[in-house]
């Protein structure tokens, strides 16, 4: 019985994460269109919902080309690696009390480790492509992820101090009185910015930077391998949104509605936030991006830990 | 920092703006009458072909997509024996219309003539010739030009004086 229940949760979480991120392709196009006073895809099916299916079919029938100069095995493994590493953190996120794949006592660390690993997918993809643009994109991705990873972890320490645990379910439970977004507002801002950089979404999409690097690290990818990178990006958005909700907005906590509904609703709002930022902000220069991380955000994250720690010590 | 937040806020307010898209097949845009679309050959108010097969349009066409052959009928009117426009090459520049001395060739605000077969884009005279005068309802070239045709001798055109007898001394 327990095993059966577990299986259902695993398959449910897996299916939900993948279908949500596929649906995001549609959502993003519609929302971007809305904010740019257009309609976006609205022809295939109701509201263009079948566009996702149409795109998927198209993707499958595209020629899946591996360039002759590429490093074949690595080239094939890289997109899978990205997808797996982005998918893994969903295992520790609690969607409702008891609905979690693996209630690790170091869930938060697991999440950080996995999101740090996801850079391998990109770097290896760029490296194996054996293409200047792809390599430049990969190098950028590595540097960017490293810099942002540093204070992403640090910005979460305030939450850990308040909850006294690395377990995500316990962190959510610790927010019963007050959501972390109020006492840890600085942490929230820092984590959100780091999240954008982690998923290399619009203001921080320098690894892709179509304007200068063709398509960055996935220049040479086509067909479903490109599709994996694409879905990986949306999975990342879903994952970071879910993490923001879990860590700062009380996860499944909320009145009236069932916990899963609260979780889904909050996550949805943050996903829309991701898309809104993409619609609004231009891409910074690369040195601005790095300088910002090391000179502004890292000190702020350290300050956040210092102050939070001091207050918690003083209160106890 | 503040400008970033302001930018995001402004974009968010766009949620309530009107969408600019014209949903094309259901909703057609307004095109002004002088829009440069599909080309037609017009007739004068009496129903005769306006084109006098002068080749000026074919000469003006930058992509050489007009082909025609001049001929003359029993009334002395010149007309094109065939008149062919290859719309797969036409760039809709409107030079032919500007070159035409008789307002025969005209561009119209119609653009819906896509075809699956490239050959179907080659329009012959039957496809081009319309039964009306197009954009210039009153213009009738042969009524104005001094050229003689049956039913209109020398000096009988509009704004034209009768011919002078150059051997006479009378004023
Ligand atoms: S519109 Fe321009 S390209 Fe087309 S037939 Fe006339 S002169 Fe040629
Ligand atoms: S359409 Fe006009 S320019 Fe062309 S041959 Fe006829 S009269 Fe001349």
Q: What is the pLDDT of residues A173-214, one digit of tens each?
A: 777 777 777 777 888 888 888 888 888 777 787 777 777 777
**B19 contact residues in A (CB cutoff 8 A):** 33-34, 37-39
Is there a contact between B39 and B106 (Cβ–Cβ < 8 Å)? yes
Query: Vertex A79, ends A73 and A84: CA angle to 5°?
Result: 115
Instruction: Say how far apart CA B9 and CA B3 lie, in whole Å.
Output: 10
Q: Token pair 């030009």 is at which residue?
A: B145
- Cβ(B68) – ligand 1 distance below 6 Å: no
The pLDDT, as a whole number, for residue A224 is 82
Count of beta carbons in the 10 Å neighbourhood of residue A316: 5
Among B14, B20, B21, whose Cβ lies nearest the Cβ of A35?
B14
- Give the Cα separation of A240 and A229 in Å (integer): 16
Q: Is A84 helix (H, G, I), strand (E, B) or coil?
A: helix
**Token digits for B8?**
């995001």
Instruction: Supply the pLDDT for residue A23.
Output: 84
Is B18 in Cβ contact with A280 (below 8 Å)? no
Tokens of A229: 């990178």
pLDDT of residue B69: 92
Task: Put the strands of the sheet holding B78-86 in their side by side order.
Answer: B66-72, B78-86, B122-123
Strand partners, B86: B122
Q: Do B8 and A280 touch (CB under 8 A)?
A: yes
> For residue range A76-109, what is the model confidence (pLDDT) as tens digits?
888 888 888 888 888 888 777 777 777 778 888 8
**B60 in contact with ligand 1, CB cutoff 6 A:** yes
pTM over 0.80: no
Distance from CA of A268 to the nearest CA of B (A): 16
Report DSSP state, residue A159.
Answer: H
- Closest by CA to B91, choosing from B60, B124, B127, is B60
Residues 6+ positions from B167 with CB-CB distance below 8 Å: none
CB distance B84 to B95 below 8 Å: no
Which residues does chain A have with pLDDT short of 70?
none
Phi, psi (deg, nearest 5) at residue A312: -60, -40
A183: its two tokens? 């006492």
Q: Report which bound ligand comes closest to the CA of B87.
A: 1
Dihedral (Cα; A113, A115, A117, A118), 10-degree rounding: 170
Q: What is the dihedral of CA B56, B57, B61, B66, to 10 degrees?
A: -120
Put simply, the answer to whether B21 touches A276 (Cβ < 8 Å) is: no
Spell out which residues of chain A touch residue B11, defining contact as CB-CB under 8 Å.
35, 276, 279-280
- In tens digits, chain B (171 residues) has pLDDT values of 788 888 888 888 888 888 888 888 888 888 898 899 999 999 988 888 888 989 999 999 999 999 999 998 888 888 899 999 999 999 999 999 999 988 899 999 988 888 899 999 999 988 888 888 888 888 888 888 877 887 777 777 787 788 878 888 877
- Cα A288 to Cα A134, A212, A216, A285, B23: the distances in Å are 21, 16, 19, 5, 41
* CA A136 to chain centroid: 22
Determine whether A282 is exposed, middle or buried from the number of CB atoms within 10 Å of its CB (0-12, 13-18, 19+).
Answer: exposed
Token look-up 């019963």 returns: A176
Verify whether the Cβ–Cβ distance A276 to B8 is below 8 Å: yes
pLDDT of residue B86: 92
* A281: nearest CB among B4, B14, B19: B4
Q: Whose CA is nearest to atom 3 of ligand 2?
A: B100
State whether A39 and B17 contact (CB < 8 Å).
no
Residue nearest to atom 2 of ligand 1 (CA): B93
d(CA B116, nearest CA chain A) in Å: 22
Model ipTM value: 0.73
């Amino acid at each position: 019985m327990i095993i059966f229940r577990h299986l259902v949760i695993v398959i449910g979480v897996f299916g939900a994460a993948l279908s949500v991120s596929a649906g995001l392709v549609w959502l993003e196009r519609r929302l971007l269109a809305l904010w740019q006073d257009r309609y976006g895809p609205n022809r295939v099916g109701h509201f263009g919902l079948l566009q996702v299916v149409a795109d998927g079919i198209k993707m499958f029938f595209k020629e899946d080309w591996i360039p002759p100069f590429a490093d074949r095995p690595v080239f094939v493994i890289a997109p899978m690696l990205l997808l797996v590493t982005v998918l893994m953190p969903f295992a520790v996120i609690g969607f409702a009390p008891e609905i979690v794949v693996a209630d690790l006592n170091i869930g938060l660390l697991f999440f950080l480790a996995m999101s740090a690993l996801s850079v391998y997918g990109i770097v290896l993809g760029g490296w194996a492509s054996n293409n200047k643009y792809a390599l430049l994109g990969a190098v950028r991705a590595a540097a960017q992820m490293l810099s942002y990873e540093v204070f992403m972890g640090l910005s979460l320490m305030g939450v850990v101090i308040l909850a006294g645990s690395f377990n995500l379910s316990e962190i959510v439970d610790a927010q019963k009185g007050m959501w972390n977004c109020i006492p840890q507002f600085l942490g929230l801002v820092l984590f959100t910015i780091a999240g954008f950089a982690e998923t290399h979404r619009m203001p921080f999409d320098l690894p892709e930077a179509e304007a200068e690097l063709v398509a960055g690290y996935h220049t040479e990818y086509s067909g479903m391998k490109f599709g994996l990178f694409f879905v990986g990006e949306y999975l990342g958005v879903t994952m970071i949104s879910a993490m923001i909700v879990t860590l700062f907005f009380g996860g499944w906590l909320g009145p009236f509605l069932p916990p899963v509904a609260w979780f889904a609703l909050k996550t949805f709002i943050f996903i829309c936030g991701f898309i809104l930022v993409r619609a609004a902000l231009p891409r910074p220069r690369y040195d601005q991006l790095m300088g910002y991380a090391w000179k502004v955000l890292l000190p702020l994250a350290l300050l956040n830990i210092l102050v939070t720690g001091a207050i918690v010590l003083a209160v106890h | 920092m503040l400008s970033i937040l302001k930018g995001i806020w402004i974009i968010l307010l766009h949620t309530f703006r009107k969408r600019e898209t014209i949903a094309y097949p259901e909703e057609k845009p307004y095109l002004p009458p002088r829009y440069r679309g599909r080309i037609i050959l017009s007739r004068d108010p009496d129903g005769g072909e306006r084109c006098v097969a002068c080749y000026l349009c074919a000469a003006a066409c930058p992509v050489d997509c007009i082909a025609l052959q001049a001929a003359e009928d029993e009334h002395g009117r010149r007309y094109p024996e065939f008149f062919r426009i290859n719309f797969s090459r036409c760039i809709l520049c409107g030079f032919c219309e500007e070159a035409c001395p008789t307002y025969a060739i005209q561009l119209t605000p119609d653009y819906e003539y896509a075809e699956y077969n490239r050959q179907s884009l080659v329009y012959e005279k039957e496809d081009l010739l319309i039964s009306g005068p197009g954009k210039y309802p009153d213009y009738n070239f042969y009524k104005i030009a001094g050229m003689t045709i049956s039913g209109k001798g020398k000096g009988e055109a509009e704004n034209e004086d009768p011919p002078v007898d150059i051997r006479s001394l009378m004023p």
